[in-house]
A and B are shown apart, each in its own frame.
Chain A
Amino acid sequence: MTIPEIEAEIVSEFSLFDDWMDKYNYLIDLGKSLPVIDPKYKTDQYLISGCQSQVWLFAEYREGKAFYSADSDAIITKGIVNLLIRVLSDQSPGDIINADLSFIDHIGLREHLSPTRSNGLNSMIKQMKLYAVVFQTKYQ
Chain B
Amino acid sequence: MAIDGNKWQSKVRSDFPILSTKVYNKPLVYFDNAATTQKPKQVIRAITDYYEKENCNIHRGVHFLSVKATEAYEDARCAIRDFIHAKHAHEIIFTRGTTEAVNLVADSFGKKFIAEGDEVITSVMEHHSNFVPWQQMCLERKATLRFIPLLEDCSLDIPAFRELITEKTRLVAITHISNVLGTINPVKEIIALAHLSNIPVLIDGAQGVAHMTVDVQDLDPDFYCFSGHKMYAPMGIGVLYGKEKWLEEMPPYQMGGEMIKDVFFTHTTFNELPFKFEAGTPNVEGVLGLHAAIRYIHETGMDQIEVYEKELLDYATQRLLGIEGLKIYGTSPHKASLISFLLHNVHPYDAGMIIDKMGVAVRTGHHCAMPLMEYLKIPGTIRASFAFYNTKEEIDRLVEAVEKAKEMLS
Contact = CB atoms under 8 A, between A and B. Distances in A.
Interface string B349-390: 110111001000000111000000000000110000000000
A20 B380 CA distance: 25
Interface stretch (A40-48, A56-64, A74-82, A96-104): A74-82
Interface in B125-173: none
B308 to A, nearest CB: 31
Interface stretch (A5-13, A21-29, A128-136): A21-29
A73 B408 contact: no
B364 to A, nearest CB: 6
A1 interface: no
B357 A75 contact: no
Contacts of B350: 28, 74-77
Given A20-B24, A21-B408, A51-B365, A76 B353 contact: yes
B347 interface: yes
B365 A75 contact: no
B348 interface: yes
B30 to A, nearest CB: 17
A75 B347 contact: yes
A20 B349 contact: no
A53 B409 contact: no
A28 B404 CA distance: 13
A28 B345 CA distance: 14
B365 A74 contact: no
Interface residues of B, number: 16
Contacts of B354: 24
Given A24-B354, A76-B349, A52 B408 contact: no
The binding surface of chain B is classed by DSSP as helix
A75 B352 CA distance: 12
Which of A21, A25, A53 gathers most chain B CB within 10 Å? A53
A91 interface: no
A25 B24 CA distance: 18
Contacts of B357: 20-21, 24
Nearest to A75: B350
Contacts of B347: 53, 73-75
A92 interface: no
Nearest to A53: B349
A119 B409 contact: no
B409 A28 contact: yes
Contacts of A119: 349
Contact of A24 (B349, B353, B364, B366): B353
B46 to A, nearest CB: 29
Contacts of B352: 52
B359 to A, nearest CB: 11
A71 B357 CA distance: 24
A76 B348 CA distance: 11
A19 B170 CA distance: 58
Contacts of B366: 51-52
A25 B408 contact: yes
A51 B354 CA distance: 18
Contacts of B349: 52-53, 74, 76-77, 119
Interface string A93-124: 00000000000000000000000001100000
Contacts of B348: 52
Interface in B333-354: 347-350, 352-354
20 contacts: A20-B24, A20-B357, A21-B357, A24-B354, A24-B357, A24-B408, A51-B366, A52-B349, A52-B352, A52-B366, A53-B347, A53-B349, A73-B347, A73-B379, A74-B350, A75-B347, A75-B409, A76-B349, A118-B365, A119-B349
Q: Report, nearest first, the 6 A-B pairs whose CB atoms are least far apart.
A: A74-B347, A74-B349, A53-B349, A52-B365, A52-B349, A76-B350
Interface of B: 24, 347-350, 352-354, 357, 364-366, 379-380, 408-409
Given A51-B365, A52-B365, A73-B379, 13 more contacts: A20-B357, A24-B354, A25-B408, A28-B408, A51-B366, A52-B349, A52-B366, A53-B349, A53-B379, A73-B347, A74-B347, A75-B350, A75-B409
